[in-house]
């Protein structure tokens, strides 16, 4: 049994809240400074963030907190510092070399739920799986088997660890490859979050300086990888299945045109901020 943390002396009561507030005030570049500071404090203490919110006076500020704050001040992503990121219904191990999961990507799972309402996909293909983000979330949602493909060995290493940690190693398999090259067969659900940022587009230092560029940039118009996927998807999606693809908020018309040119029917879904975020591509009824 883990022993409870020692109660700080009366003179130190409130020190955790004060340290969090001080750190948050320094994170002027962040859109969530208070949350960042709370997550770093929880990580330094080895407790859940909720424990701090419920009773911060139970804890003393650990010596390890200040170095974590300094790392964040260098714009290092919180997920890289803590080594974990929550996504959908799962927690994922994450670190350098793997794209940090974004909440807006949960739109793909919501869109897939809508498509498979009342039934479950039996097979899932996740193209550009990264640390297993979409595939493992889908396998937590449905009793399916899946394949995750990525070109990055670093990302795939995280994906395999995550599958094992989540008890999905027998249902999730991973393959190093370039999109769907060499993959045969059909899948009920295809998920993809390809790079979609134009090479000359400016990004925050947190993203540009730390996350893998191969998972971010996709040519001068941000559409290079959609052109590849549009040509590959028709042969891979099962007749009653769907391919659910993440897009940049301005890319719906261009990517829809690429998919429709391949004979696919396309529907648009919006994210939590009501921005265009996912396209659901299905085979036209015959």
Residue 180 domain flag: yes
Does the CA dihedral 222-223-228-230 come out positive or negative? positive
Burial of 160 (0-12, 13-18, 19+ CB in 10 A): middle
231 and 269: one domain? yes
CA-closest candidate to residue 6, choices 58, 82, 84, 68? 58
- Sole residue written with tokens 């709370």: 38
CA 250 to chain centre: 20
The pLDDT value recorded for residue 14 is 82
pLDDT at 77: 98
Residue 194, domain member (yes or no): yes
The total domain count for the chain is 2
167 with 34, same domain? no
Same domain, 106 and 239: yes
Q: Where does a domain end: 50, 74, 98? A: 74
Residue 261 lies in a domain: yes
Q: What is the CATH number of the domain that holds 56?
A: 1.10.8.10
The answer as to whether 79 is a domain residue is no
Q: What's the average pLDDT block by block, 10 residues per block, for the chain (286 residues)? A: 56 81 97 97 96 94 97 98 97 97 97 96 98 98 98 98 98 97 96 96 95 95 98 97 98 98 98 97 82
- Give the integer Cα–Cα distance in Å for 10 and 24: 24
Residues 56 and 182 in one domain: no
pLDDT at 8: 60
What pLDDT does residue 11 have? 45
162 with 257, same domain: the answer is yes
Domain range spanning residue 181? Answer: 88-283
Does 41 share its domain with 150? no
Question: Is 212 in the same domain as 257?
Answer: yes
How much is the pLDDT for 277?
98
pLDDT the model gives residue 53:
94
CATH of the domain at 111: 3.40.50.150
pTM, 2 dp: 0.92
Considering the domain architecture, whether residues 60 and 194 belong to the same structural domain is answered as no
């Amino acid at each position: 049994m883990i022993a409870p943390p020692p109660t700080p002396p009366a003179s130190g009561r409130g020190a955790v809240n004060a340290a969090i507030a001080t750190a948050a005030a320094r994170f002027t570049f962040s859109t969530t400074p208070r949350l960042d500071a709370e997550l770093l404090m929880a990580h330094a203490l080895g407790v859940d963030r909720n424990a701090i919110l419920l009773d911060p006076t139970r804890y003393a500020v650990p010596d390890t907190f200040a170095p974590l704050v300094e790392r964040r001040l260098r714009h290092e992503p919180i997920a890289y510092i803590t080594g974990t990121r929550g996504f959908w219904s799962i927690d994922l191990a994450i670190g350098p070399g793997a794209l940090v999961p974004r909440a807006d990507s949960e739109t793909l799972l919501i869109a897939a739920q809508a498509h498979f309402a009342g039934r479950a996909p039996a097979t899932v293909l996740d193209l550009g799986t990264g640390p297993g983000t979409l595939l493992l979330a889908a396998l937590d949602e449905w009793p399916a088997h899946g394949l995750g493909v990525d070109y990055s060995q670093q990302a795939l290493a995280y994906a395999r660890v995550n599958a094992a940690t989540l008890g999905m190693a027998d249902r999730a398999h991973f393959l190093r490859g370039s999109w769907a090259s060499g993959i045969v067969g059909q899948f009920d659900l295809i998920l993809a979050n390809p790079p979609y940022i134009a090479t000359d587009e400016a990004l925050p230092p947190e993203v540009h300086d730390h996350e893998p560029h191969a998972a971010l940039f996709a040519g001068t118009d941000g559409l290079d990888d959609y052109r590849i996927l549009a040509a590959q998807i028709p042969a891979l999606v099962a007749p009653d299945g769907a391919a659910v693809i993440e897009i940049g908020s301005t890319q719906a018309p261009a990517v829809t045109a690429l998919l429709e040119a391949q004979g696919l029917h396309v529907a648009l879904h919006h994210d939590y901020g009501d921005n265009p975020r996912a396209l659901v591509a299905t085979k036209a009824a015959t």
